[in-house]
Structure 1
Amino acid sequence: MTHASTADLLVLHAVRLLGVADDDAVARRFALDPAVAKELLLDDQAFGWITWNEFAGIGGWSLTARGREENERRLAAELELVEGAHAVREVYRAFLPLNERLQIACTQWQLRPTDADPHAFNDHSDPAWDRRVVAELSALADHLGPLSEDLAAVLDRFRGYRPRFTAALDHVLAGDHAWVDRTDVDSCHRVWFELHEDLIATLGLPRGVEPA
């Protein structure tokens, strides 16, 4: 049976995954009651785990170094509680080669090498080139489904990645190219990046380090 994380863990973890986020974004990330999320954010601030920063009139919460440690401590305790470390590690091993493919696809979306410039910007004037990238994203979506199901069978908070990636891909297939890699929408790249961050946070790994 899958395990439902506590609201206090989810609020702190949402800040970790989102990087910088206001109250509403934190609450939406795991469909939490906004009032509950707000109260927990203030508690986290009081403990020194998160801090509020503003730039050009836009503000958001971000983790402090102490908050990152606390987040990983809670995630490790939860994973031990559900005896799910082996299952999550197995998914992460399967995820790593797919992650390389996603990075290549996003690079090819941004760049289209020419004889004169191997780093030429992709102006999307070559439909065949773009179709190959979108086909790769579709293939990755097919792989993501089983991995997400395996993760969600252990921890319920992993459940949203598959529908979010599929929704972003639907936008791309409908012709809205912002949903490939933009950071200001829930794009394919943003969803994938969050999943990667979620996996390494859950396993207590730095990015780029494969599990033993």
Structure 2
Amino acid sequence: MLDPYALTVHTLTLRQLGSAAQLAEINANQVADTETALAKAVADGNVIAARGNFMITPAGRGFLDTVYPSAFAAVRSDAAVDAAMDSFETGVNKQILALTTDWQTVEVNGERVSNDHGDAEYDAAIIDKLGRVLDKTQRVLRPLVEVDALVGRFLDRIAAALTRVEGGEIDYVSGVRVDSVHTVWFQLHEHLLRLTGRERPE
């Protein structure tokens, strides 16, 4: 697995721009440890700082490319993980993407238009489906949760976002300014790809 320094740099591939606190929320490091790692990463040229936020550099991506193969060797050779990823990509990931589209748009006279969320029953049906897909995702990704705690953290964050949706905060379905189901799902997927060495499907 990744040491705190590499994990901090890695987290910037999941969230393209973020503060130390935001990165720590993703990777479960202490904020102070994240700040220390970021300071070193900036000095090393792997990260750049901009007004309290940080971004990975091409050198940082190159650094991770040298770290991943050894750090994740055991995961990448695990047959159960490989099978779980196949199920994830062909099943729940496609379902989440389709539900996000259904949430953001509705069909009117054969055309897709923006969903104004005026139909409570339509929205409630999608939220219910999201809950069922996320329950299935917990089962599908169990082999990965067993070998990488960060996967379980992502699933907990997605569940927390869904709880807020169910409480009426509908921006937590796909809003880009909050840790919505869709936002955290994207981070989870990117982490899974880097963990397993796979390419993002077209």
Shift in Å, 1:103: 0.9
Quote the offset at 1:9 in angstroms: 2.3
Q: 2:106 aligns with which of 106, 112, 118?
A: 112
Aligned pairs for 1:50-89 within 5 A = 50-54=47-51, 59-81=52-74, 84-89=77-82
Residue of 136, 142, 147 corresponding to 2:129: 136
CA distance in 1: counterparts of 2:96 and 2:167, whole angstroms: 20
Bigger helix fraction: 2
- 1:153 counterpart SS class: helix
Give distance in 1, aligned partners of 2:133 and 2:15.
22
Aligned pair in 2 of structure 1 residues 76, 60: CA closer, same or farther (>3 Å)? Answer: same
Q: Are 1:14 and 2:11 an aligned pair?
A: yes
Q: Which runs of 4+ in 1 moved over 6 A?
A: none
Matched, 1:47 2:44: yes
- Please state how far the C-alpha of 1:206 moved relative to its aligned partner: 3.1
Change (3 A) 1:28 1:126: closer
| Superposition deviation, residue 83 in structure 1 | 6.2
Contact 1:180 1:189 in 2 (8 A): yes
Identity across the alignment (%): 25
SS in 1 for 2:55: strand
Number of aligned positions between the proteins: 201
**Match among 140, 146, 149 for residue 142 of structure 2:** 149
What TM-score does the superposition give when structure 1 sets the normalisation length?
Answer: 0.85
Structure 2 CA distance, aligned partners of 1:126 and 1:81? Answer: 48
SS at match of 2:53: strand
Task: Return the letter of the residue paired with 2:94.
Answer: E
Is the alpha carbon distance of 1:66 and 1:152 closer, same or farther for their aligned partners in structure 2, counting shifts above 3 Å?
same
Matches for 1:158-177 after TM superposition, within 5 Å = 158-177=151-170
Residue 38 of structure 1 corresponds to 35
The change in CA–CA distance for 1:182 and 1:33 in structure 2 (over 3 A counts) is same
- The TM-score, its normalising length taken from structure 2, stands at 0.89
Secondary structure of the residue aligned to 1:92 is: helix
Q: Which whole-Å CA distance do the structure 1 matches of 2:143 and 2:179 have between them?
A: 22
**Contact map agreement 1:19 1:62 (CA 8 A) in 2:** yes
Unaligned 5+ segments in structure 2 are: none
Amino acid at match of 1:138: G
Which residue is 1:26 aligned to?
Answer: 23
What SS does structure 1 have at the residue aligned with 2:21?
Answer: helix
Instruction: Letter of the 2:119 partner, please give it.
Output: D
Rounded to whole Å, the distance in 1 between the matches of 2:82 and 2:137 is 15
RMSD: 2.0
- Equivalent position SS for 2:113: coil
Task: Render the CA deviation track for 1:49-97: whole Å, top value 9, x for unaligned.
Answer: 112235xxxx521112221232233222111156654333222211112
1:94 to 82, 87, 92: 87
1: distance between equivalents of 2:188 and 2:83? 15
